[in-house]
Amino acid sequence: MSYTIEGRTGTWEIVVGLEVHAQVISHSKLFSGASTTFGGDPNTQVSLVDAAFPGMLPVINHECVAQAIRTGLGLKAQINLNSRFDRKNYFYADLPQGYQISQFEYPIVGKGTISIELQNGDVREIGVTRLHLEQDAGKLLHDQDPTKSFVDLNRSGVALMEIVSEPDIREPEEAGAYLRKLRQILRYLGTCDGNMEEGSMRADVNVSVRKAGEPFRTRCEIKNVNSIRFVMQAIEVEAARQVEIWENGGEVDQETRLFDPSRGETRTMRSKEDAHDYRYFPDPDLLPLVLEQAWVDELAAQLPELPDAKRARFQAEYGIAFYDAGVLVAEQAVADYYETVARGRDGKLAATWVMGDLFAALNRTGNSIETSPVSAEALGKMLDLIADKTINGKIAKEVFEDMVETGESPDAIVEKKGLRQVTDTGVIDAAISAILDKHADKLAEYRSGKDKLFGFFVGQVMKETKGKANPALVNEALKARLDA
């Protein structure tokens, strides 16, 4: 256990569980035919069902069910063929029905697991307790009027997956790794875009502290934290707050808290006394959700390759390092790019170029992999030019920079700039003669035993040929002449 808090009375460890709300990617809402598109004009993506007009009824969206199943499969979780929808009853201005349709007792997905990797290379399994489908709420705007809050119901009724972890997390870093990995899996599956800034992925963080070997102590729930960095900060400050209370002989109250990033502290939102009594009961407007195993199997068969599997395959297939494979599969688009470059070529060289020159160029030009000025096909073609000795590695860098700038094909650049590698031994021999004549003193030193000067001669010959000479041929010929 690397993360602990040293208190006056001893060493404390932290216990964290995460509840992630992930907005499901679908065209229409969970129980209505209104659009889910982000950023629409206020209250335009609202149906009578979403605004809970009298007599309106929910009808479930098939794709949202499929997305939940895909996600469950991606988390290696139990898919429950029988699940049910319940009403969670409470009043709030963003909740038109006066209840949220959710799954309480019988969620669609049961226990699963997420494998996370820490900075030091350690790999840990974090348990997933369950995943269930539920409705999102509307949005309140507080800054439009001095005495009123404004209600926009565009988001009301959009499908969410609530993904609940076991209290297996012991470090802020693990919480960050868990969220990043979960987001990566969701993005690979295409079930949630994982965009925390737009609120399509949000986390509630359950934090408690205890001394080693103790049972769990009272936990607090920090609601709606909207970035991975804030989740990690919130855990740190909340754990420290709780240790302080316990060490002063106090009791931590079970309550709901908010994290204020500007002050770096958590504060009470709702105490246990005014905790909600949600009065869950099965929604009588909906019948039990019964899934066919055959459909689940079909969805499983269509599942894309997930990051862990892809990483293992990249290692095996392209001979690259575990770490490098991890970097390359972090995003689906990068993995696809890399694989296009590497397929049928030198995988290690492909990795070096993608992670080195390409990433640097993207960074420098403010591009993402999707908007890369150099396509994967073009980079692959450039590697082909290296492989067939049309250019050498040094010239390749020059070609690549030109590709970034002009977007032209590597062949065209090589032709345009006359960068074709010199493999004519006559030209190379002539260059060697010229250099040896010019540096007769160095030649004498070399021959008297100063072997190190070999590199000097190689460099001079390359310079003489403007870098275009084939380095292997230069080596070979130079060695023959010097040692003659």
Which residues are at the interface with another protein (CB under 8 A)? Answer: 26-28, 32-35, 41-65, 84, 87, 89, 91-93, 96-99, 140-142, 144-153, 258, 269, 277, 279-282, 284-290
Residue 285 or 297: which CB sits closer to another protein? 285
CB 224, min distance to another protein, A: 9
Sequence-ordered list of residues with C-beta below 8 angstroms from that of 430, at least 6 positions apart, any chain: none
Residue 28 or 184: which CB sits closer to another protein? 28
Q: How far, rounded to the nearest angstrom, does the alpha carbon of residue 425 sit from its chain's CA centroid?
A: 50
CB 290, min distance to another protein, A: 4
Sequence-ordered list of residues with C-beta below 8 angstroms from that of 439, at least 6 positions apart, any chain: 457, 460
| Element of type H or E holding 134 | strand 123-135
Residue 282 or 471: which CB sits closer to another protein? 282
CB 215, min distance to another protein, A: 24
CB 177, min distance to another protein, A: 29
CB 37, min distance to another protein, A: 9
Question: What sign does the dihedral 404-408-409-413 (CA atoms) show?
Answer: negative
Which residue has tokens 């209104």? Answer: 34
CB 162, min distance to another protein, A: 19
> Buried b vs exposed e over 230-246: b needs ≥16 C-beta within 10 Å?
bbbbbbbbbbbbbbeeb
Measure the CA dihedral 409/415/416/417, to 10°. 110
Residue 135 or 184: which CB sits closer to another protein? 135
Residue 45 or 372: which CB sits closer to another protein? 45
Residue 154 or 184: which CB sits closer to another protein? 154
Residue 63 or 346: which CB sits closer to another protein? 63
- Round to whole Å and give the CA distance between 184 and 191: 11
- Round to whole Å and give the CA distance between 4 and 12: 6
Cβ neighbours around 407 below 10 Å, total: 12
CB 190, min distance to another protein, A: 13
- Round to whole Å and give the CA distance between 44 and 251: 48
Closest CA to 218 of 12, 19, 15: 15
CB 164, min distance to another protein, A: 20
- Round to whole Å and give the CA distance between 61 and 35: 12
Edge-first strand order for the sheet with 86-89 is: 99-102, 86-89, 281-282
Residue 187 or 257: which CB sits closer to another protein? 257
CB 42, min distance to another protein, A: 4
- Round to whole Å and give the CA distance between 436 and 471: 17
Residue 227 or 375: which CB sits closer to another protein? 227
